[in-house]
Amino acid sequence: MPYKDLREWLRNVEARGELKKFSGASWNLEMSSLTDILQKEKKHQMPAVLFDDIPGYPTGFRALFAQTSSTWRIAHTLGLPEDQVDRVSLMQNWRKKSKNLKLIPPKRVTTAPVQENIDTGDNIDLYKFPVPMCHDLDGGRYIGTACAVLQKDPDEGWVNIGTYRGQVIDRNHLAFHAVEAQHGGAIAHKYFSRGQTMPIAIAIGVDPALYCVSSQPMTGWGISEYDYAGGIKGEPIEVFEGVSGLPLPAQSEIIIEGECRPGEFVPEGPFGEFHGYYANLGMKPVNEPLVRINAVYYRNNPIMTCASPSIPPHVSTLMGSTLQSMLIQDKLERMGVPGVRGVWCHEFGSGWFFNVVSIEQSYTGHPRVVGNIAALANTHSGRYTVVVEEDIDPADIEQVLWAVVTRKRPHESIDILTRCPATSTDPAIPLEEKLKYEVLPKPMYSSRVVIDGCRPYEHKKDWYPIARVSPELRAEVMAKHPNFFK
């Protein structure tokens, strides 16, 4: 892999022309708002944004937003071909690599760059970092957004690394939030149900490959994200042992190490989430585990990595769309479904709620089989799943909707699946329904829609001709007039 840590990765991104540096923005709503405005205006050409000279903080204490908001940066992070970065090709290249990925366990080292500064006891102060206030309705400042939270399973001993929320409560305490079905929540429940204290660490500014694995559901239960990230890089992730005994990522910018004691909870939130809503319990904080901080490690001139989700697209939707698309195509392949040509989970659906599959029809009912499997591929995604034919780019929403409105009549194309799983973060579930249950996990249900946007199989050969510029004609015209778009 062509980078050792986040700093080398940033140098590569800057050389590519995909890094925007900005000085003078405040931690209080300004950094997150400027990034979001830029995201909405730039759309698919979003740079990474590095803030410095943040008022009230030393020069060199920086904050990075939009780390994986371009297809090239995702390809660079995952070690994929960097000359094939359209969205579907990116996903397909990642599928090819992940199929042959060999897990590489982490390598222990005795010293680490992140140990340049170590604060303990009264020296611990989270406010020495420019922790952002992301949205004006948030319940506080969040240092844990684009982070990697480390926990060890008390039974099997494997290390889970996930991206979970971390709200600053005061100078030496955090609140830890993980939703239902996430490995972090399941591990915490094991400790607390036995009356045991859980060691925990929040690493910020980690190796970009490790962040990608942490922030997306790439691994199953019992497989450490350390091993998977090592497989992506082709070399082990370096770790050192912290005071808690957890293996900590040596190349991090900041690590917060502490413990959660059973029965100790603190109001957490609200926080504007990935789908653009305050959808857990609306504006009501929820009691979450309290993290008592024992040590803080950080590099000189540390870089905080931050995510400020909002109405999509936002800083993390492209990565989510890419990896969720791959997971759906893998599920279809494992089920033996033929003819799948491409999958894309659209960013306006946060990479979860609006998924499109293109197929080459080979039998009657083929689109329905594909649609039903894709709709249920993940526990809380796929509210709308559309199946189109191979002449439609699943990542081009205009092509997709054109196929939907022209190739089938509504009464022939729409199926609704009921009593499908959901989570308490679902913004479509009314607040009063969530408030019925005082304990987790809450028994949440939703429905899913499968839309068949394919021509009827039995009439496909006789279907109406399509008026379009063919690929052959396009190539001929562009070769003859190469300066037309310049």
Q: What mean pLDDT do residues 226-239 have?
A: 97
In a domain, 484, yes or no: no
Three-state SS for 120? strand
Three-state SS for 387? strand
Q: What mean pLDDT do residues 450-463 have?
A: 90
In a domain, 457, yes or no: yes
Q: Which pLDDT score is estimated for 349?
A: 77
Claim to verify: residue 265 and residue 321 sit in the same structural domain? no
Claim to verify: residue 265 and residue 323 sit in the same structural domain? no
Claim to verify: residue 138 and residue 165 sit in the same structural domain? yes
pLDDT in tens, 368-423: 999 999 998 876 667 899 999 999 999 999 999 999 999 999 999 999 999 888 87
In a domain, 91, yes or no: no
In a domain, 204, yes or no: yes
Cα 425 from Cα 275, distance rounded (Å): 9
Query: What are the φ/ψ torsions at residue 13 (nearest 5 degrees)?
Result: -65, -40
Claim to verify: residue 277 and residue 384 sit in the same structural domain? no
- Number of domains the chain is built from: 2
Burial zone of 24 (CB within 10 Å; 0-12 exposed, 13-18 middle, 19+ buried)? exposed
Judged against a pLDDT cut of 90, whether residue 434 lies above it is answered with no
The domain boundary residue, chosen from 282, 305, 328: 305
Judged against a pLDDT cut of 60, whether residue 191 lies above it is answered with yes
pLDDT in tens, 8-59: 999 999 999 999 999 999 999 999 999 988 888 865 579 999 999 999 999 9
pLDDT in tens, 340-349: 999 999 888 7
Claim to verify: residue 168 and residue 237 sit in the same structural domain? yes
Strand order in the sheet with 48-52: 19-23, 48-52, 62-65, 303-305
* C-alpha 67: how far from chain center: 11
Most confident of 35-44, 124-133, 184-193: 124-133
Place of tokens 């996930």: 162
Burial zone of 365 (CB within 10 Å; 0-12 exposed, 13-18 middle, 19+ buried)? exposed
Q: Produce one character per residue of 139-153: b if its CB has 16 or more CB atoms within 10 Å, e if not.
A: bbbbbbbbbbbbbbb
In a domain, 94, yes or no: no
Cα 389 from Cα 51, distance rounded (Å): 44
Claim to verify: residue 379 and residue 272 sit in the same structural domain? no
CA nearest 455: which of 403, 414, 411, 395? 403
Claim to verify: residue 293 and residue 342 sit in the same structural domain? no
Task: Report the percentage of the chain scoring pLDDT > 70.
Answer: 95
CA nearest 236: which of 105, 337, 48, 332? 105
Global pTM value: 0.86
Cα 318 from Cα 212, distance rounded (Å): 12
pLDDT in tens, 63-102: 999 999 999 999 999 999 999 888 889 989 998 999 889 9
Claim to verify: residue 361 and residue 300 sit in the same structural domain? no
CA dihedral 90, 96, 99, 104 (to 10 degrees): -70
Contacts with 126 (C-beta within 8 Å, 6 or more apart), sequence order = 143, 168, 170, 171, 172, 174, 256, 293, 296
Sign of CA dihedral 418, 331, 413, 429: positive
Two structure tokens written together for 244 = 């808690």
Cα 366 from Cα 346, distance rounded (Å): 22
Asked whether the beta carbons of 253 and 113 are under 8 A apart, the reply is: no
pLDDT in tens, 280-316: 666 778 899 999 999 999 999 999 999 998 877 777 7
Judged against a pLDDT cut of 70, whether residue 170 lies above it is answered with yes
Domain containing residue 132 = 6-69+101-305
Claim to verify: residue 327 and residue 254 sit in the same structural domain? no
Output the domain CATH number for residue 21.
Answer: 2.30.110.10
Cα 304 from Cα 233, distance rounded (Å): 22
Cα 309 from Cα 132, distance rounded (Å): 12
CA nearest 206: which of 114, 273, 94, 73? 114
The domain boundary residue, chosen from 305, 327, 343: 305
Q: Which pLDDT score is estimated for 429?
A: 80
Claim to verify: residue 214 and residue 362 sit in the same structural domain? no
In a domain, 78, yes or no: no
Q: Which pLDDT score is estimated for 282?
A: 60
> Mean pLDDT across the chain, nearest whole number?
91
Asked whether the beta carbons of 212 and 201 are under 8 A apart, the reply is: no
In a domain, 486, yes or no: no
pLDDT in tens, 251-268: 999 999 999 999 999 999
Output the domain CATH number for residue 390.
Answer: 3.40.1670.10
Claim to verify: residue 279 and residue 349 sit in the same structural domain? no
Claim to verify: residue 269 and residue 328 sit in the same structural domain? no
The domain boundary residue, chosen from 284, 305, 326: 305
Q: Which pLDDT score is estimated for 281?
A: 64
| DSSP 8-state symbol, 28 | B
Place of tokens 């050389």: 15
Q: What mean pLDDT do residues 196-214 have?
A: 97
Q: What mean pLDDT do residues 362-366 have?
A: 93
DSSP per-residue codes, 316-351: THHHHHHHHHHHHHHHHHHTT---EEEEEE-GGGTT
CA nearest 162: which of 225, 223, 220? 225
Asked whether the beta carbons of 298 and 116 are under 8 A apart, the reply is: yes
Asked whether the beta carbons of 290 and 119 are under 8 A apart, the reply is: no
| E strand or H helix that includes residue 9 | helix 6-16
Place of tokens 């070769």: 479
Cα 87 from Cα 343, distance rounded (Å): 10
Q: Which pLDDT score is estimated for 438?
A: 56
CA distances for 375 relative to 419, 420, 461, angstroms: 13, 10, 28
pLDDT in tens, 101-128: 999 999 999 999 999 999 999 999 999 9
